[in-house]
Amino acid sequence: MEKKPHLVRREFPPREVPSVSLAVLLAAVLLLNALLYLYLNKFYISSGRAEMDPGLCSFGYFKLGTVKNCSPWLSCEAIRREVRKLKCVGEGAVKKVFLSEWKENKVVLSQLTNSELKEDFLHGLKMLKALQSKHVVRLLGYCEQQFTILTEYHPLGSLRGLNETLHIPKYKGMNTWHRRLMLAIDYVSILRYLHSSPLGTLVMCDSNDLDKVLSQYLLTSDFHILVNDLDALPLVNRSAGRLVKCGHRELRGEFVAPEQRWPYGEEVPFEDDLMPPYDEKTDIWKIPDVSNFFLGHVEGSDIVRLHLFDIHAACKKKDPAERPSAQEVLETYRKVLTLLLREAAMPGTREML
């Protein structure tokens, strides 16, 4: 009987990635992570976004430009003698703003225009003095008797001109999704600072529409944001049962938070005394709309919006108590920035591994 030949099954060893190639790949990943860490570290710390700004002077002092030493805030006499008005660059309900000059430095001089609003003006000055930090425009001097405030000049102006600035050839390189997201992070960082300020929980009340919000902030030459107008900044004190109301008139529109709108319907005429007060969560409601402006319509901005969808949905909760804090929004924004920068720096790395 003839024996059938045995079929021999050949085993092929698994294909191996050369150890040298794998080592090179891992080294590249580690290097990219290190570069990303340094980049973000520079953004949060070296660029002046750290919690403690080494460029700040002690209370009552300032330094300007390349000057190393701190000078005391300018007095009424010093402002009268040393500051020269150049031209009017803006006027609001409370004050008129002049581009001015002090010791060959461009500065901003603000003066009260409506005597009926002097309390608002003095409140803004009080806030400006108490809240000096990396988030707030630098105070250089003031004169209460003449209702005058002197602050640092920022040539790019308010955030209302952001898109126009980004179309200037000099700044077109800044018109990217990550630079725009950094501006949104700056904005939320300022809200976080105001909500946990040295004075307590402060609400940004001059924010009834997007244009009004943008007018309250300045764009610096290194593309960061400073809050500039602090005239309407009431204090929430929960332990004392103190909430706030942003003005004495009826607020309308989807931009303001639901709790800021008249709750009793069209059939009941608005009465300020019947309007319920609210807290700082009104600022949280507005974050998605302001951030949407910052993100614009550049390549990659829709991907950022997708990653921010959940936190923005939470900001729009009708019940203020269900909205996140500014700190929680800030943490989410920073995580999204880190994630997207890592993915941009290492496309396809996951598949390679």
CATH number at residue 95: 3.30.200.20
The percent of residues in the chain predicted with pLDDT above 70, rounded, is 82
In a domain? residue 31: no
Residue 150, phi then psi, degrees to nearest 5: -115, 125
Of residues 37 and 181, more confidence is placed in 181
Instruction: Let me know the angle formed at the C-alpha of 208 by 279 and 225, rounded to the nearest 5 degrees.
Output: 85
Mean pLDDT across the chain, nearest whole number? 88
> What is the distance between the alpha carbons of residues 277 and 139, in angstroms, rounded to a whole number?
31
Q: What is the pLDDT of residue 239?
A: 86
Mark which of 97, 126, 153 sits at the end of a domain: 153
Q: What is the pLDDT of residue 32?
A: 57
Torsion of CA 225, 198, 337, 325, to 10 degrees: -120
Residues 124, 178, single domain; the answer is: no
Residues 89, 230, single domain; the answer is: no
User: Which residue in 134, 63, 76, 135 sits closest to 109, CA to CA?
Assistant: 76
In a domain? residue 39: no
Q: What is the CATH number of the domain that holds 164?
A: 1.10.510.10
Question: At 32, is the secondary structure helix, strand, or coil?
Answer: helix
Residues 316, 270, single domain; the answer is: yes
Instruction: State pTM to two decimals.
Output: 0.84
> What is the distance between the alpha carbons of residues 225 and 220, in angstroms, rounded to a whole number?
6
pLDDT tens digits for range 292-335: 999 999 999 999 999 999 999 999 999 999 999 999 999 999 99
Measured from the Cβ of residue 316, the count of other Cβ atoms closer than 10 Å reads: 17
Residues 326, 337, single domain; the answer is: yes
Which residue, chain included where needed, has tokens 């919690």?
51
Question: What residue numbers bound the domain in which 318 lies?
Answer: 154-344
Q: What is the pLDDT of residue 205?
A: 95
Q: What does the block give as tokens for 164? A: 């126009």
Helix boundaries (H) for the chain: 19-41, 76-82, 118-130, 162-166, 177-195, 210-215, 281-295, 301-307, 309-315, 326-345, 349-352
Residues 198, 281, single domain; the answer is: yes
In a domain? residue 276: yes
User: Residue range 252-258: average pLDDT?
Assistant: 97
Question: At 144, is the secondary structure helix, strand, or coil?
Answer: coil
User: Which residue in 194, 247, 236, 195 sits closest to 217, CA to CA?
Assistant: 194
